[in-house]
Structure 1
């Protein structure tokens, strides 16, 4: 059974993962599997490849910047204050339109946040990663599959 908790974003664990700063505000473990909540700072050019989640829905609340989200056949332009919902089993692709996007990502149910943690390293400062190290594509595909996600090589 989950226990009540509170966290300030400055005290939450942060990771440099796939070219972004990822702050884990709530894990699936903390919420009894109900959800995970991440704050992401994503620079233009560090977007994830087209992918689909088979276990969870993903919702993005844009806090700053501008993002285009293609979810299946739908295309959404999301600026600060916009929410975009991507249901499970619907392929989606994110494109950062501004220099950087800051957003909250809600995954329901929780658990997939472990994928980003495993692919990353603890952030030593609350900044974007200081280096541009490309992840090993094979490792990304393998870990994604382990967490019920699929990296797409072609757009449906």
Structure 2
């Protein structure tokens, strides 16, 4: 059984890492702050809701337009919760933090081979860099990098995810790089938001063991993929963004919401 699943505070982990003497520091620039005051969400009928392994409530929508495919999720992240380090191979990702309060981390080193994860026994662990997000901040996370986040506040915080299918992704039913299919497989459906279902040990286990089917390496403890944690990101990470794809995604959502029949969202 996986214990304390996805609810381990990153702040506590950083303290432990400091005690172990593997925290690195440098004089690199602070993480660039890009912000969006309002991120539109597709106006779909009866959006699908799924309960995550740490009690996160996800509200999903998926959109297709030509060769473009992506999934969004408006999520409620409980205090102390967040995914352990993982790697997406079929999607590029954005995190929008309407109220801030989330500590995101990401590596510069890339792990392009799904069959060779970021472990000491395989491709080697990663140094990750942290950012404490502010309200309306949006952070980009390209594929093949170790990343994750923790809600470092004492209250539930909102977070919107965008996963854009990469051109190298194999085909999945929703043309979204396999993300929504992954959550449907391992998450717990929410038929009534006022009566949340129980989170099963089976779903927690499957969140890790089923992940490779959807192009994901998912660790089951923090230091499995991580060797160091640093709060001073290098320039390549501090100024990383993908504005062209993000603007195209927003344009697709707005087109759907305005009745454009060339866009399919569900």
Q: Give your verdict on TM over 0.5.
A: yes
Q: Does 1:63 align with 2:98?
A: yes
Give the one of 44, 50, 57 matched to 1:21. Answer: 57
State the partner residue of 1:91: 146
State the partner residue of 2:88: 53
TM superposition score normalised by structure 2: 0.50
Deviations 1:71-114 (A, max 9, x none): 01331111320111111011012111122121110001123121
Deviations 1:9-36 (A, max 9, x none): x721111122211111225xx4565211
1:151 to 1:58, Cα distance in 2 relative to 1, 3 A: same
1:77-88 aligned at under 5 Å gives the runs 77-88=132-143
Contact 1:76–1:84 (Cα < 8 Å) also in 2: no
Whichever of the two has the greater Rg, that structure is 2
Q: Output the CA distance in 1 between the equivalents of 2:226 and 2:93.
A: 18
Report the alpha carbon displacement of residue 62 of structure 1 after superposing the two structures with TM: 0.9
Report the alpha carbon displacement of residue 64 of structure 1 after superposing the two structures with TM: 3.0
Q: Does 1:105 align with 2:176?
A: no
Report the alpha carbon displacement of residue 7 of structure 1 after superposing the two structures with TM: 2.2
Count of residue correspondences: 148
Q: Does 1:140 align with 2:216?
A: no
Farther off after superposition, 100-109 or 129-138: 129-138
Contact 1:60–1:106 (Cα < 8 Å) also in 2: yes
TM superposition score normalised by structure 1: 0.80
Task: Give the secondary structure class of the aligned counterpart of 1:126.
Answer: coil
Task: Structure 2 unaligned segments of length 5 or more: list them.
Answer: 1-41, 108-127, 166-175, 228-266
Report the alpha carbon displacement of residue 149 of structure 1 after superposing the two structures with TM: 0.5
Farther off after superposition, 123-132 or 46-55: 123-132
Task: Give the aligned CA root-mean-square deviation in angstroms.
Answer: 2.4
Q: Output the CA distance in 2 between the equivalents of 1:136 and 1:34.
A: 26
1:80 to 1:124, Cα distance in 2 relative to 1, 3 A: farther
